[in-house]
């Protein structure tokens, strides 16, 4: 729990929300400024800023809830698809510093773009660089 966190205040009931799911670990509610009808945020109840800060069991609980909710959001919004996304850190556009997974209903006609439209100026990587970064991620 963080005193000045909007999402902790929602968990505590101090700020109202349109809650769509709640269990001991996880809560989900409608986004106050939705990108589409049914845009839902899924959060761990405990305050952690980023996905990589979550203990493994909380991460599992969070993504289990995302898994359970996605079809329900699509059905309620009559959406053909969803974009499921996390802005993970301020440099990635995260504004509320409490982990949240966006479930955004999508349709062919919504004018939205895919994740690959996020960054237009893409690196031109050769095989050596792919080798290097794969090794770095593996921790070789
Ligand atoms: P971020 O940019 O951090 O990934 O997304 C934060 C999201 O939280 C935004 O989509 C914004 O509309 C939503 N949001 C911010 N404040 C509130 C609030 O008080 N209640 C709800 N339900 N959503 C909020
Ligand atoms: Zn918080």
**pLDDT value, residue 2:** 75
Specify which residues 102 forms β-bridges with: 41, 85
- Mean per-residue pLDDT, 105-131: 94
**pLDDT value, residue 33:** 98
Task: Summarize pLDDT for 62-77 with one digit per residue, the tens.
Answer: 999 999 999 999 999 9
Domain 6-138 homologous superfamily, CATH: HIT-like (3.30.428.10)
What is residue 79's three-state secondary structure?
coil
Task: Summarize pLDDT for 87-107 with one digit per residue, the tens.
Answer: 999 999 999 999 999 999 999
**Tokens 């409608």 map to which residue?**
30
Rounded to two decimals, the pTM is 0.96
**pLDDT value, residue 3:** 76
Residues with CB under 6 A from ligand 1: 6, 15, 17, 29-33, 41, 87, 93-96
Instruction: Find the catalytic residue in 98, 100, 102, 116.
Output: 100
Of residues 39, 55, 38, 49, the one with CA closest to residue 94: 49
- Please report, for the chain, the start and end positions of each structural domain, with discontinuous segments joined by +: 6-138
Asked whether the CA dihedral 73, 69, 89, 106 is positive or negative, the reply is negative
67 an active-site residue? no
CA of 49 to the centre of ligand 1 (A): 14
Percent of the chain residues topping a pLDDT of 70? 99
């Amino acid at each position: 729990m963080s005193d000045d966190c909007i999402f902790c205040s929602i968990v505590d009931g101090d700020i109202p929300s349109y809650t769509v799911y709640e269990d001991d670990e996880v809560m989900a509610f409608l986004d106050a400024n939705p990108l589409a009808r049914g845009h839902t945020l899924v959060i761990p109840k405990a305050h952690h800023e980023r996905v990589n800060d979550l203990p493994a069991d909380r991460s599992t609980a969070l993504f289990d809830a995302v898994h359970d909710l996605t079809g329900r959001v699509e059905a309620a919004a009559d959406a053909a698809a969803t974009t499921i996304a996390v802005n993970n850190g301020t440099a990635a556009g995260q504004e509320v510093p409490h982990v949240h997974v966006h479930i955004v209903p999508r349709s062919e006609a919504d004018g939205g773009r895919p994740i690959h439209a996020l960054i237009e100026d893409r690196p031109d990587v050769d095989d050596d660089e792919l080798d290097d970064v794969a090794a770095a991620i593996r921790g070789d």
